[in-house]
């Protein structure tokens, strides 16, 4: 046996490992590299307080990213998440009545009504998107682009260039309050991540999401209602965006037009940088958590070293581009490996 023949099996195993794990390994190494770099560059970065600060900064993005993870796992996309979050947050402020109108048996009924109506608004956005994508057959890219414009129109119509400060006390507590010194937004985000992980990992619906994203035709032949699964993830995504918008206006202290514009790129970056495949069927909440941490450490670390704000945007874009390249390259490796096995 020659040396080349002996080395071939080892080389094959390495290629197989890279094909399977590249999109998972790269984000972890990126996170570690960023953490080490910023810890050296700024003594104030590696502290417990700053760790909680990072989690707080990514908490609203994290709730949106949970819904987006479901969508991307089915090989679809939702470009309306930030606009829906903004519209829902503004809708809640619009529906919230003044304290003078409150109290039937000491129950803040108008606040509850505002929350219910706001959640129904988020549900409506999700159902319209689901109907367009699954029953009419409009590609999700185009359909959610249209929903984004509609949601932006709703925001503009309700605030008309003004700033709203009125929202229910319960939402104020969740958006800006703390429990045992920890912001409620962190707790809510962690709950969303946990529930989504359990659903995707241990339920039939979660298995169907992966099946639809991995091989849509095979899923149909297996008896999976593909249209229903895609519709469901679109609704889940809209509801996550809506709840993030409700908490976000309290987190920021106001509801105004274009407030969530940056959250679209951030949410997509969190999911993709974390390693969830844009081609569907591979990834999950664990990857999204890593992506959120990469995003949070990067943004927070750049603030600590006081880099030019315009350069920060460029760096974030380059990291997203690198993640996209790795994502596509990992898919190519996987396909080549599958064809040779």
Amino acid 104: pLDDT: 37
Q: Summarize pLDDT for 131-183 with one digit per residue, the tens.
A: 999 999 999 999 999 999 999 999 988 888 788 777 788 888 888 888 888 89
Give the confidence band of 272 by pLDDT, cuts at 50, 70, 90: confident
284: alpha, beta or left, given left = phi > 0 and alpha = psi -120 to 50? left
Q: Is 167 left (phi over 0), alpha (psi -120 to 50) or beta?
A: beta
| Average confidence (pLDDT) over 248-254 | 88
CA distance 39 to 151: 40
Residue 337: pLDDT above 80? no
Is the pLDDT reported for residue 9 higher than 60? no
Confidence of residue 98 (pLDDT cuts 50, 70, 90): very low
Is the predicted pLDDT of residue 101 greater than 50, yes or no? no
Helix (H) or strand (E) holding 166: none
What distance in Å separates the CA atoms of residue 294 and residue 267, rounded to the nearest whole number?
A: 12
Tell whether the model's pLDDT for residue 4 goes beyond 60: no
Of 7 and 55, the one with more pLDDT: 55
Distances from the Cα of 95 to the Cα of 155, 173, 179, 241, angstroms: 13, 18, 27, 18
**Is residue 270 within 8 Å of residue 291, measured between CB atoms?**
yes
DSSP 252-295: HTSB-TTTTTTHHHHHHHHHHHTT--TTSSS--HHHHHHHHHHH
Residue 84: closest CA among 107, 109, 99, 67:
67
What predicted TM-score, i.e. pTM, was given to this entire model? 0.87
pLDDT bin (cut points 50, 70, 90) of residue 3 is: very low
Residue 130, judged by CB atoms within 10 A of its CB (0-12, 13-18, 19+), counts as buried
129 φ, ψ (degrees, to nearest 5): -60, -45
Q: What is the pLDDT of residues 54-93, one digit of tens each?
A: 999 999 999 999 999 999 999 999 999 999 999 999 988 8
- At 198 the pLDDT is 97
In the block, residue with structure tokens 């995003």:
295
Across the chain, what does the average pLDDT equal? 84
Alpha-carbon span 277 to 282, nearest angstrom? 5
> Could you give all domains of the chain from N- to C-terminal order, each with its CATH number?
25-340 (1.10.3470)
Question: C-alpha angle with apex 10: 8 to 12, nearest 5 degrees?
Answer: 70
Question: Which ranges in the chain belong to alpha helices (H)?
Answer: 3-41, 48-73, 81-95, 109-130, 140-159, 169-176, 184-202, 204-214, 216-221, 226-252, 263-273, 285-304, 309-340
pLDDT at 316: 76
- pLDDT score of 206: 94
- CB of 96 closer than 8 Å to CB of 114: yes
Q: Give me the pLDDT at residue 278, please.
A: 84
- pLDDT of 103 reads 38
């Amino acid at each position: 046996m020659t040396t080349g023949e002996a080395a071939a099996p080892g080389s094959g195993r390495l290629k197989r490992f890279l094909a399977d794990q590249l999109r998972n390994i790269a984000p972890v190494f990126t996170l570690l590299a960023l953490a080490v770099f910023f810890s050296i560059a700024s003594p104030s970065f590696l502290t417990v307080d700053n760790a909680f600060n990072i989690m707080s900064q990514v908490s609203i993005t994290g709730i949106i990213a949970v819904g987006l993870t479901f969508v991307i796992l089915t090989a679809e996309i939702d470009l309306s998440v930030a606009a829906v979050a903004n519209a829902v947050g503004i809708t809640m402020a619009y529906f919230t009545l003044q304290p003078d109108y409150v109290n039937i048996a000491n129950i803040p009924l108008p606040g509850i009504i505002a929350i219910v109506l706001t959640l129904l608004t988020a549900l409506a956005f999700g159902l319209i998107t689901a109907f367009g994508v699954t029953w009419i057959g409009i590609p999700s890219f185009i359909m959610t682009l249209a929903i984004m414009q509609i949601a932006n129109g709703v925001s503009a119509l309700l605030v008309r260039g003004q700033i709203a400060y009125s929202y229910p006390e319960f939402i104020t507590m969740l958006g800006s309050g703390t429990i045992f010194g920890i912001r409620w937004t962190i707790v809510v985000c962690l709950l969303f991540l946990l529930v989504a992980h359990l659903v995707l990992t241990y339920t039939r619906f979660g298995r169907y999401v992966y099946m639809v994203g991995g091989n849509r035709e095979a899923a149909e032949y297996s008896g999976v209602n593909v249209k229903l699964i895609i519709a469901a993830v679109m609704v889940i995504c809209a509801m996550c965006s809506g709840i993030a918008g409700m908490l976000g206006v309290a987190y920021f202290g106001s509801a105004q037009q274009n407030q969530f514009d940056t959250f679209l790129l951030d949410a997509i970056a969190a999911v993709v940088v974390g390693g969830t495949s844009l081609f569907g069927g591979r990834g999950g909440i664990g990857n999204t958590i890593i992506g959120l941490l990469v995003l949070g450490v990067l943004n927070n670390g750049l603030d600590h070293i006081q880099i030019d704000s315009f350069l920060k945007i460029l760096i974030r874009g380059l990291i997203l581009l690198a993640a996209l390249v790795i994502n596509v390259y990992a898919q190519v490796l996987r396909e080549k490996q599958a064809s040779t096995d």
